[in-house]
Amino acid sequence: MTATPESPAPRDLLRAMFDAAVASAQPAVCVPPALPAPPKGRLIVLGAGKASAAMAKAVEDAWGGPLEGLVVTRYGYGAPCSRIEIVEAAHPVPDAAGHAAARRILALAEAAGPDDTVLFLISGGGSALLALPIDGVSLADKQAVNRALLASGATISEMNCVRRHLSAIKGGRLAAAAHPAKVVTLLISDVPGDRPRDIASGPTVPDETTCADAFAIVRRYGIELPANVRAVLESGRGETVGPDDSRLAGIETHMVAAPQMALEAAAEVGRRAGWPVHILGDAIEGEARDVGTVMAGIARQVAARGQPFAAPCILLSGGETTVTVRGAGRGGRNVEFLLSLGISLDGLADVWAIACDTDGVDGLEDIAGALLAPDTLARAWALGIRPKDALADNDGHGFFGALGDAVVTGPTLTNVNDFRAVLIGATTTEAAS
């Protein structure tokens, strides 16, 4: 199968595939089918994450009976709700607003009775937004640890392990606080492998990791901890709620959206346009620049050898890469991947790519990601921009922004992690043969 004459231009097709991935994870689509049965008592809706406000609105729109609650989301990611209070706070480094919201959410969970159902709406970003440190650890301490973790190159699973053991609310503690109420959690996954304990650091699910595990991660990345924070881990005082805890017996946890679902929605758009589409994986991790180099090698093999797939085709992948910050640039991980990919491809004909975060925020910038074209490097050189220097400075956003190739979506109100697509046209094979 090959692209039809009516197929969109590569840029347009890649952007349409990304938009389809985001649309498939919209709470209005995925939340209503998973709602619980009406309880004898109250329905209390609590949540955190970049998608939590949109999830709350989906609950309000679909729920016919009374309800109440509170969710916390990232600044700019609110949604109009009349019965569920929406609070906005900082991400990825927590602030006082998130700290106050987390304290209130914990109090509401503790006030639930045996006839009540507590519906937790959890999505990516909830770890920073539910910023309630364990006794003996201040918000300033938590902020410092968060910054160090973000710059260390640690995986999201490793970062969340540390966060769980320094929290009064994560690692199953929030669900335990709601006991004996019925607890139902709806999850939108933004983590490789879709492990519930890693989504927002697992406030409503049991945790099998230990303080020793968290401390080992801190040592692995050479992170300096304040003495009081170190004491929490060394003493075991930060141990989380394990799978054998009776307070978590009977909890229900439902994954309503995940990276694989988004990739499949994007693949369908590509196939309808006449392109063979191959999903390489939904949980790819590693340094963003290294993943870019490897993906370029796969694209070159497709172009030159027809292996492991024949061109023309589109390669999709998801997951969450990391960036070890070395320079003073604007980040983030998707544009770092894309810049590394472009440098390795070195202008290979008829190869296009897109890399974006489905939440609309790549790193610290309100930019989802960027597009790569065969002439990207040539246009950069013409402007006096040195691609390798931009990569060394972790300045993917500056690089693609200067070329007019940034992808800006605004708040998408969902979060199913990174989206990457590499389009390899038929002329690439011809040129390589």
**Would you list the domain boundaries of the chain?**
10-23+260-426, 28-257
pLDDT for 28 beyond 50? yes
Contacts of 249 (CB under 8 A, 6+ apart): none
Q: Averaged over 332-349, what is the pLDDT?
A: 97
Question: For residue range 281-301, what is the model confidence (pLDDT) as tens digits?
Answer: 999 999 999 999 999 999 999
Q: Are 254 and 32 in contact (CB under 8 A)?
A: no
Q: Which CATH code is given to the segment(s) 28-257?
A: 3.40.50.10180
Nearest to 207 by CA among 306, 152, 270, 127: 127
Question: For residue range 54-67, what is the model confidence (pLDDT) as tens digits?
Answer: 999 999 999 999 99
Q: What local confidence, expressed as pLDDT, does residue 6 receive?
A: 59
Residue 201, Cβ density class (10 Å: 0-12 exposed, 13-18 middle, ≥19 buried): buried
- The token pair that represents 346 in the structure block: 């070195």
Question: For residue range 169-208, what is the model confidence (pLDDT) as tens digits?
Answer: 999 999 999 999 999 999 999 988 999 999 999 999 999 9
pLDDT for 404 beyond 50? yes
**What's the pLDDT band for 4 if we cut at 50, 70, 90?**
very low
pLDDT for 360 beyond 50? yes
Q: What local confidence, expressed as pLDDT, does residue 153 receive?
A: 85
CA distance 73 to 32: 19
Q: What local confidence, expressed as pLDDT, does residue 254 receive?
A: 98
Q: What local confidence, expressed as pLDDT, does residue 306 receive?
A: 97
Q: What local confidence, expressed as pLDDT, does residue 253 receive?
A: 98
Q: Which of 322-326, 405-409, 423-427 has the highest mean pLDDT?
A: 405-409
Q: Which residues are 141's β-sheet partners?
A: none
Q: Provide Rg for the chain, Cα atoms.
A: 22
Contacts of 186 (CB under 8 A, 6+ apart): 31, 34, 55, 119, 120, 121, 122, 254, 256
| Residue type for position 144 | A
DSSP state of 365: B
Determine the 3-state secondary structure of 230 from DSSP: helix
pLDDT for 433 beyond 60? no
CA distance 45 to 132: 19
Report CA dihedral (177, 55, 259, 391) to the nearest 10 degrees: -90
**What's the pLDDT band for 326 if we cut at 50, 70, 90?**
confident
pLDDT for 430 beyond 60? no
Q: Are 79 and 413 in contact (CB under 8 A)?
A: yes
Question: For residue range 243-255, what is the model confidence (pLDDT) as tens digits?
Answer: 999 999 999 999 9
Determine the 3-state secondary structure of 244 from DSSP: coil
- The token pair that represents 134 in the structure block: 């364990």
For 10-23+260-426, the fitting CATH number among 3.30.70.260, 2.60.40.10, 3.30.572.10, 3.40.1480.10 is: 3.40.1480.10
**What's the pLDDT band for 428 if we cut at 50, 70, 90?**
low
Nearest to 249 by CA among 148, 312, 178: 178
Q: What local confidence, expressed as pLDDT, does residue 325 receive?
A: 84
Q: Are 258 and 196 in contact (CB under 8 A)?
A: no
- Return the percentage of the chain with pLDDT > 70, whole number: 97
